[in-house]
Amino acid sequence: EVKIDHLLKDAGKDFFLIGMAGDLPARYSAEELALAAEHFAAITPENCMKPERLHPQENQWQFERADALVEWARQNQMTIHGHTLVWHAQTPGWFFEGDDKEVIKQRMKEHIHTLVGRYKGQLQSWDVVNEAIDDRGGPQAAKTENLRNSKWLQALGPEFLTLAFQYAHEADPTAVLYYNDYNIESGSKHESSMVLLRRLLADGAPIHAVGIQGHWRSGSVPFKEIEKAITDYASLGLKVSITELDVTIRGASGGQFGGGFNRRGFRSATPPSLEDLKQQADDYAQLFAIFKKHQDVIERVTFWGLNDRRTWRWGQHPLLFDAGNHPKPAYVAIVDEL
Of 11 and 80, nearer to ligand XIL (C-beta) is 80
Residues within window 300-329 making contact with ligand XIL, judged by CB under 6 A: 312
Q: How many residues bind ligand XIL (CB under 6 A)?
A: 6
Return d(Cα 148, Cα 133) in angstroms, integer: 5
Residue of 284, 210, 213, 288 whose CA lies nearest to 244: 213
Minimum Å gap between C-beta 244 and ligand XIL is 6
Residue ranges in 176-205 that form contacts with ligand XIL under rule CB under 6 A: none
Shortest separation between residue 93's beta carbon and ligand XIL, angstroms: 17
Q: Collapsing DSSP states into helix, strand and coil, what is residue 248?
A: strand
Residue closest to ligand XIL, measured at CB? 312
Q: Residues 15, 37, 46, 320: which binds ligand XIL (CB under 6 A)? A: 46
* Residue 130 in the binding site for ligand XIL (CB under 6 A): yes
Q: Which residues contact 279 (CB under 8 A, 6 or more apart)?
A: 218, 219, 249
> Rg of the chain's alpha carbons, rounded to an integer?
20
Report, in Å, the least distance between residue 46 CB and ligand XIL: 5
Positions in 231-260 near ligand XIL (CB under 6 A): 244
Output 214 or 329, the one with its CB closest to ligand XIL.
214
Among residues 47, 76, 122, 268, the one that binds ligand XIL under rule CB under 6 A: 47
CB of residue 263 to ligand XIL, shortest distance in Å:
26
Q: At what angle do helices 223-235 and 274-293 cross, to 10 degrees?
A: 20
Helices (H), the chain: 8-12, 30-39, 51-54, 64-75, 101-118, 151-156, 159-171, 187-202, 223-235, 274-293, 329-337
Nearer to ligand XIL, 161 or 335 (CB): 161
Our CB check for ligand XIL shows the closer of 192 and 279 to be 192
Annotated catalytic sites, by residue?
Answer: 244
In the complex with ligand XIL, the residue whose CB is nearer, 130 or 192, is 130
Mutual orientation of helices 329-337 and 274-293 as an angle, nearest 10°? 30
Q: Dihedral of the CA atoms 113, 119, 123, 128 (nearest 10)?
A: -20
Is 146 near ligand XIL (CB under 6 A)? no
In 3D space, the residue among 329, 236, 312, 338 whose CA is nearest the CA of residue 20 turns out to be 312
Using CB under 6 A, list all residues that contact ligand XIL. 46-47, 130, 213, 244, 312
